[in-house]
Amino acid sequence: MTPQECSTMSELRAEIDSIDAALIRLLVQRAGYIDRAVDLKRNEKLPARTHDRVAEVISKARAGAAAHGLDAELAETLWRELIEWSIARESEHLDT
């Protein structure tokens, strides 16, 4: 259902809740890749924080947001938080 098809706040909230549940599933999936990165970074002797990669991910988030009509500043804020959480998770296991 599109936002315009929602005729009540109850319908609208149900759609938002569905999107939120999908976002959580995607974040869980992403966290699995972060956990795998620990093993690969350990094998390749890479640090948890790779500044070039952080910049690349932020750039892609901003561009993707802008291309879809989402505020690029919002995307950057959300992705920076996600990146910092990911780096902290990796650092905990890499002892860096």
Q: Where are the alpha helices (DSSP H) in 1-96?
A: 9-44, 51-67, 72-94
Q: Which of 15, 39, 14 is nearest to 94 (CA)?
A: 39
The tokens for 75 are: 């995307």
Query: What is the spatial distance between Cα 28 and Cα 22, in angstroms, rounded to a whole number?
Result: 10
Q: Which CATH number covers residue 56?
A: 1.20.59.10
Amino acid, single-letter form, for residue 49: R
pLDDT at 17: 98
pLDDT at 96: 57
Is residue 58 a contact partner of residue 76, using CB atoms and an 8 Å limit?
yes
Compute the C-alpha angle 63/61/76, nearest 5°. 110
Tens-digit pLDDT profile for residues 9-56: 999 999 999 999 999 999 999 999 999 999 999 999 999 999 999 999
Determine the structural domain holding residue 61 and report its residue range: 3-94
Structural domains counted in the chain: 1
